[in-house]
Structure 1
Amino acid sequence: MRLKSLGIVILLVMLFSFSTVPFATAGSDVSAVLRAGGGAVGGAGFVMLTGVSKIVSNAHKKVSITVVPGGWVGNITRVNVGELDLASTANTLCGLAEKGIAPLNKPFPDVRALFSVQDTMYYFMYARKDFPVDSVEELIEKKIPVRLCTLSPGSVTEMQFRNALASKNVTWDDIKKWGGKVNFVKWGDGVSLIKDGHADLICAAALGKAGWAMELATVRDMKVLKWSPALLDAINKKTGTKTATMPAGLYKGIDYTVDCPASSGEIIINAKVSDKVAYAIVKAMAEGADEYRNHHAAFRSFTAKGMPTGLFLPLHPGAAKYYQEMGYMK
C-alpha cells in the first residue's frame, strides 16, 4: 500500500513537472517548416533572413527556414495571406500598414511583429559635387531642374523619397515641370547615368557603405545634400522614420556628418504560426545576438533587449511571452 501511494506521488510530481515546463525548455523539441521572404538576393532584406535561418536552425534542429526572394512592400501582403510564414520589411512600412496609409491601406489581420533588426537604413541624396546646391531645401526652393535617379515606383526607396518631397508639397511631376527628369532605374544604372553626365544625383538608401556608391565615388567627386531639422521633422512625422546621423568618411570625399531620415528592419510573422514556434525563434535570436551582429556589419547594433523596440503592428503573443519573461518589455 505504501509503495502504491509512493508511486502515485511520484507520478503526480512528474505530471506536474511536465505540465509546467516553460516554452524555454519545451522549445528544444519544437519543429516547423517555414518559408521566409527576404528582399532581392544579396540585398539587405535577404541577408537579414539568411542570418535568422542559420541561427534558428542551429538552435532548433527540427526548425527549417527556407529564404526566398521578396520585396519589403509585397512581403507584408504575402505574410498576411499565408504565402510566407515570416519575412523582412521596414518598420516604416509596418507603420503605414498599421495606420492604413497607401499603398498599405487595407487590413492586414494576420500579420504580427516578431522583432526589430535594429539596423539603420539611411536615406540621402547623393549628388555630383558640382551640383549647384548643397541642401534638399535649396533644391526645392530654387526649383532646380534636377535629373535624379531612384528605384522603381512602389519600392521602399522610391516611396520614401516621394513622401519626403510630399512633405514640402512637391511631386515627381513637379520636378519634371521644373525642367528636370526622374529616372526609375537600378543602382548600377543610376551610377552609369551619373558617370556619363546624364544624371545629377541618386535618391539613395543604404545600410552603411553601399558598393555602388563607393564605386561611383572612385570616378566622380560626390557630395551628400543636407536635410534641415525642420524638414527632417516633417518627414519623420509623415513617414515614421527617425533622424539618424550618417557618419563622416562613409564614402570618399564625404568628410562631414549628415542627419538623414532613417528606418530599421522589422521581421514579421503570420499570426497562425504557433506561439511555441514564435517563442523559439526570438529566443534563439536573443541568445544568438553575438552571432547575428557578426553576420553583417549593418547588424552591429543588434541586441536581445532591443528586439521588441521600435516595432509597428501587433506583437506575436509567442514573442511577447519571451520578451516579458526576460524583462525586455512589460
Structure 2
Amino acid sequence: MKKIVMVIMASMLVMSLLSGCGGEKSADQKAPAKKFINIATGGTAGVYYPLGGAIAEILNKNVPGANATAQSTGASVANINMLKDAKVELAMVQNDTAYYAFKGIEMFKDKQVANIRGVSTLYNETIQIIVLEDSPVKSINDLKGKKVAVGSIGSGTEANARQILEAYGLAYADLDPQYLSFGEAANGLKDGNVDAAFVTAGAPTAAIQDIAFQKKVRLIPVETDKAEALIKKYPFYAKQLVNANTYPGQGTDVTTVAVKAMLVVPESMDAETVYQITKAIYGNTDRLKAAHKLGEGITKETALEGMPIPVHPGAEKFFKEK
C-alpha cells in the first residue's frame, strides 16, 4: 500500500512539472497582443517611402506585438485622409498640410480633420524648383507662360507652389500649371513636356537625382526678401539652403524655403502605444540614417520644432523624459 501511494504521488509530481513546462502560459506570460500599425508614406521616388520602411522595421523589432508595414501613397493630403478614415495608424505628412487639416483650411476647407495629433517633426522638406541647365528660366518671375509642374492636385507641394508664386505676384493664370507627381514631373522635364517643376521633399530627392544623372539641372532660388515675406504670412515655412553639390553638376548654394516632414497619429490611439512608438523611433535613429541621408536630421532635440498641431499625450510623455 505504501508503495502504491508513493507511485501515485510521484505520478502527480511529474504531471505537475509537465503542466508547468508544457501547459498554457500564465496570464503574465502570454504573448503581447498584436498591434497592427499601417504606416502611410509617399511615392517610391521620394523620401517618405524609405524612411517609412525603416520605421516599420524599428517598430517590429522594438514594440511588443507590433506588426508594422509601410505603404506607398499619394503623400501628405492622402495620408491625412487615410488616417481620418482609419485605414492607417501612423502617417508621414508635411507640417503645413497637417496645419491645414487641423484648422480646416486650404485643401481641407469644409473638410476639417481635427482629430489628428502630432508625434514629432522629422526633417526639413525643401521646396525645390527644378529646370534643365539650358532652360531660359533664371528666376521664378520667368515662369510666366511656361508649363510648370506644381504637384498633384490638392497636394502639399501644390499648396507650396501656389504660395511661392503668390509671393512673386504670380498666379496659375500667369502660367500653364501641370498637376503632376514627382515621378511624372521628372519624366516631363526629361522629355521636354514641362519647363519647370516644384518638388517639396528632403534634398537630395531621388526623382531629381534621377534627372540629374541623365541631364544637368539647375535649382531656381527663392530670394531672401521673398522668403521673409512668405514666412511672415505662413509661419510654418523656414529659410533653407540647398548646398552646392547636393545634385550632380550643382556648383553653387541655392536659397529657398522649407516646411517640415512630421509623423501624425489619430487622437484616439492609446497613449502607451504612441509612447512605445516614439521611444522606439528615437532610440534607433541610426537605422533612419542608414535608410536615407535625411535621417541624419532626425533627433530627439529637434523633434518638436515646427510642430503645428497638438502633440499626442503618449509622445509628449516620451519627450518630457530626461
Q: Shorter-chain-normalised TM-score: which range?
A: 0.7 to 0.9
The answer for the alignment partner of 1:109 in structure 2 is: 114
Q: Could you tell me whether the CA contact under 8 Å between 1:167 and 1:238 is conserved in 2?
A: no
Q: Could you tell me whether the CA contact under 8 Å between 1:30 and 1:280 is conserved in 2?
A: no
Q: Which whole-Å CA distance do the structure 2 matches of 1:97 and 1:238 have between them?
A: 18
Shift of 1:267: 0.5
**1:87-126 correspondence runs (5 A):** 87-105=91-109, 106-117=111-122, 119-126=123-130
Q: Could you tell me whether the CA contact under 8 Å between 1:88 and 1:266 is conserved in 2?
A: yes
Greater Cα offset, 162-171 or 227-236: 162-171
Q: Which whole-Å CA distance do the structure 2 matches of 1:189 and 1:325 have between them?
A: 44
Q: SS of the counterpart of 2:308? A: coil
The answer for the alignment partner of 2:13 in structure 1 is: none
Q: Which whole-Å CA distance do the structure 2 matches of 1:188 and 1:34 have between them?
A: 27
The answer for the alignment partner of 1:242 in structure 2 is: 238
Q: Could you tell me whether the CA contact under 8 Å between 1:55 and 1:288 is conserved in 2?
A: yes
Closer/same/farther in 2, CA of residues 284 and 193 from structure 1, 3 Å limit: closer
Shift of 1:162: 1.4
Closer/same/farther in 2, CA of residues 145 and 109 from structure 1, 3 Å limit: closer
Q: SS of the counterpart of 2:231? A: helix
Q: SS of the counterpart of 1:116? A: strand
TM-score scaled by structure 1? Answer: 0.79
Greater Cα offset, 43-52 or 296-305: 43-52
1:303 paired with 2:268, answer no
Shift of 1:45: 2.3
Pick aligned residue for 1:72 from 58, 63, 76: 76
The answer for the alignment partner of 1:232 in structure 2 is: 227
Identical counterparts, % of pairs: 20
In structure 1, the gaps of 5 or more residues are 1-27, 176-180
The answer for the alignment partner of 1:23 in structure 2 is: none
The answer for the alignment partner of 2:315 in structure 1 is: 319
Closer/same/farther in 2, CA of residues 324 and 210 from structure 1, 3 Å limit: closer
The answer for the alignment partner of 1:62 in structure 2 is: 65
Aligned length: 289
1:199 paired with 2:199, answer no
Shift of 1:218: 4.3
The answer for the alignment partner of 2:17 in structure 1 is: none
- For residues 213-268 of structure 1, the C-alpha deviation after alignment (integer angstroms, 9 at most, x for no partner) is 23433444432222111211222344422111101011233211111111221110
Amino acid in structure 2 at the alignment position of 1:52: I
Shift of 1:139: 2.3
Greater Cα offset, 81-90 or 185-194: 185-194
Amino acid in structure 1 at the alignment position of 2:120: F
Pick aligned residue for 2:37 from 11, 34, 38: 34
TM-score scaled by structure 2? Answer: 0.80
Greater Cα offset, 92-101 or 293-302: 92-101
Shift of 1:128: 3.0
- For residues 73-127 of structure 1, the C-alpha deviation after alignment (integer angstroms, 9 at most, x for no partner) is 122232234232211111111122234321123432321101122x222112212
Q: Which whole-Å CA distance do the structure 2 matches of 1:49 and 1:215 have between them?
A: 21
The answer for the alignment partner of 1:3 in structure 2 is: none
Q: Could you tell me whether the CA contact under 8 Å between 1:293 and 1:299 is conserved in 2?
A: yes
